[in-house]
Structure 1
Amino acid sequence: MRAAERGADRYRRVHTRRLGRPARSLSDLAARGGGMSFVREIVKNASIAVGVADTIEELSALHRPGCAAVIWRRQPLTGVQSWIDGLDPDVLPRAWVILRPDAVRDAALEVCDASGIPAGPERDRFVDDIAALADIFAGLIKARWLRLRSC
Structure 2
Amino acid sequence: MVFRAEDRKDLVQDIYLKVFRHLGGFRFDAKLSTWIANIAYHTCINFLEKKKILLTGENYEHIPETGAAEQSLQGKELSGIINAAIDELPPVYKTIFVLFHKEELSISEICNITSMPEGTVKSHLFRARKQLKQIILLRHKKDSL
TM-score normalized by the length of structure 1: 0.31
Which structure has the bigger radius of gyration?
1
- Structure having the higher strand fraction is 1
